[in-house]
Chains A and B, each alone.
Chain A
Amino acid sequence: MRRRRIGAAAVTAFAAAVPLAFLAVFFLLPVAGMVAKGFWSEGGLDLSGVGEVLAHPRTGRIVGFTVAMAAAATFVCVVVGVPVAHALYRLDLPGRRFLRALVVMPFVLPTVVVGVMFRSLLAPGGWLGWLGLDGSWQAILAAYVFFNLAVVVRTVGAAWEGLDRRPEQAAAALGAAPRVVFTTVTLPALRPAIVSAASVVFLFCATAFGVVLTLGGLRYGTIETEIYLLTTALLDLRGAAVLSILQFVAVVLMLVIVDRARSGGGVVGSGTGGGTRTLSAPSAPGRITTAALPSLAVTSAVVAFIALPVIALVARSLQRGGEWTLANYRALGALDTRRGLPTTGWEALATSWRIAIDATVVAVGLGLLVAVLVTRPAHTTGQARRRRMLDSVVMFPLGISAVTVGFGLLITLEWLPFNLRTSPLLIPLAQAMVALPLVVRTLAPVLRAIDDRQRQAAAALGASPSRVWVTVDLQAVWRPLLAAVGFALAVSLGEFGATSFLVRPERPTLPVVIYQLIGRPGADNLGLALAASVVLAAVTVTVMVLVERLRVPSVGAF
């Protein structure tokens, strides 16, 4: 017995070592590099940089703006997202599957594309140009909400769909009006999901990069864009490092709070593991009554809000000089040296696709490993604690900005014993880092929901551990696994933050090309950027539609 446990422990330790080593090289090392840049000078510890950066009035302004915008966007996302979750997951709404897909779509739209969308809508000459919101903080806020609403809708919706209806019915039978049932029974039951989603939205908004860079211009900046600016334009690596660390500390703090909110204490014995969320069979959607009218009204507004920028983008990409034309799309295939681009749009798309596939293989492989490890039932409190720690650690990249990862990698690459700088794997690995937490979040709830006695039953009937895995785990997880593949693919295709630091100038990815194009003057360049955005959006959305057909509730839910 003891011998077997030691053997199993060795396998577990090795399995945990692989993702941890990956995290160490592509996450901890960059962060360590950042610390060294910020606090280490002339062979000694030097904290003067911290004081300097923090004392700078601009820093205060940037941090304040970052936090205030993230808080405002989180508030709007929750207030709007909960009624939408109700309408799309609890009501027998015609076409709700399509609407669900529509609401999730922005989440996988490349940040750069979202930026381009809002600009083409709000810029002078755009459909909403008369609002005069181009380059305003309101535009950034709208883009944040556009982007992150899906997180609230998916997370709360998945929880709501799986909610046992009987307590609600019991409350109603005790004389509670629908509104009272909602506030006294439903809302408390949804609270963990709402808290979880809100924290994730806050993290995403606080570390948003591409959207702010394309929409904020020079007037507004967040910690992320400031790091980018300090690194690339002002070459103040120390200042950038201090800001990165500041953000890192804040995010780790935040994740600890989320972790506390998500689960209450470790599980010992033969339980089904950490989390508190269970995925039960969805209950039948309810009929639409007048009580549902507010939810339906909010949902209609949200659908319009999401559809408008998309339609505007597509429409404007089909125009040049006020006329309808395919010229912008034709230009995607042409190599025009005047634009200073080394590749055509299609070549950039091919580059993006190749990189995304490599990144997906890495992210899904590691993510599956991590998900299996963290959901194994723990026998001791120590084991339960270690599993929860691993679970939290792989979530770090979710909150740590891609810019930090990209920038950190850039300055620590030469520390590695192998040459990664020129390796074609560099960008895929960095993107895998970004996609890894999403893969784990898709797979872990499904694996956690498996009754461990199913595995025990199989083992007792003579199935070897690998056969047990095929019979029980794989059976439950193959759809989520496919969904995770699509999700990772979509995220990698649109990844901009880390890629923008690491990309080789002669082989840009499509998001990088789009960003370069909108930075150049001229209607031709803008038109090309619009067309490229439509193509990129079409590819990621197609992938997500396929994912959506798999009907996995944990995709995009936190």
Chain B
Amino acid sequence: MLHKSFHNSAGAALLPAHGIGASATKPAISIAGLRVAFGDVPVLHGVDLAVNKGEALGIVGESGCGKSVTWRAVLGLLPKSAEIGGEARIGDLDLVGARQSVLDRVRGGRIAMIFQDPASALNPVHRIGAQITEALRLHRGLSGAAARAEACRLLDQVGIAAAASRLNAYPHELSGGQNQRVMIAIALAGRPELLIADEPTTALDATVQAQILLLLKDIQRDTGMALVMISHDLAAVAAVCDRACVMYAGQIVETAPKHTLLTAPEHPYTRDLIGAIPPSHGPRMRLTAIAGAPPQRNLSPGCAYAPRCRHAIAVCRTSRPEPRQVAARHSVRCLRLDAGTYQ
């Protein structure tokens, strides 16, 4: 079921202009200097990030690091009390501060988002068929039999068996994994260029989690859309994404291709985070325990990780590191790295 090919005739139409060659010139979305503050508490301290077309990018971090806030800010989903600065460009359009009418066309259309808890994201009193056709009507102008046929195809694409009969089901009649598949179908309804998956499998059982992760990867590959996967689980991100960013206290501290990030991380936080994951095989080594907890608010003048970092020196507490390119596509925000001394 998982590994069936999604290359059907309608699927061909689903391909946005993709191709990795073109991606180098124009990213699907580029975020620059994104800042968010709630009242006088800053939660994002300038996030710079570009997601290339057709790329699967992972955003990893612990709770409160700003990984979800970044994308909610981009899509205008934060409460009014949030002060947002910087820019998030999709094509020629800047989404930060854009009008509601503009955002309404982008959300669910060019950019779709799925969340951790599908049961609360779906409307419990509407059949899932109606919820998918609603998205088709809003974003593709389909109605009647055409919408129903397309909804059926989408359910089939996300691997729900007997799709035609399932259109009449209510969310409570489906399991958690199936509801997440329905959410993905709704997200795909608008033929997005970018799908943002915010902890898409955290609430699911292990075997179902693997199903959904592989489904996301297959769909991303087959449709050529860009995928951003937000997760606290580095292993899950590594299984799906080509590239990953590690966030800490409202900043991206390291960005690298997946393999580099896992095998040759440079930032002390990334190293500690990988060391904290119990290995799945091989000898059992003592886990790296990072002292303390992630900061609730990051107001320090220096590096946010300095209070927990084993390699911190005096300068780390007083001045903020800027991102530094250590290799192609690999950037790190660490002052110790400039000295090249810590190991």
B partners with A: no
- List the interface of chain B (C-beta within 8 A of A): none
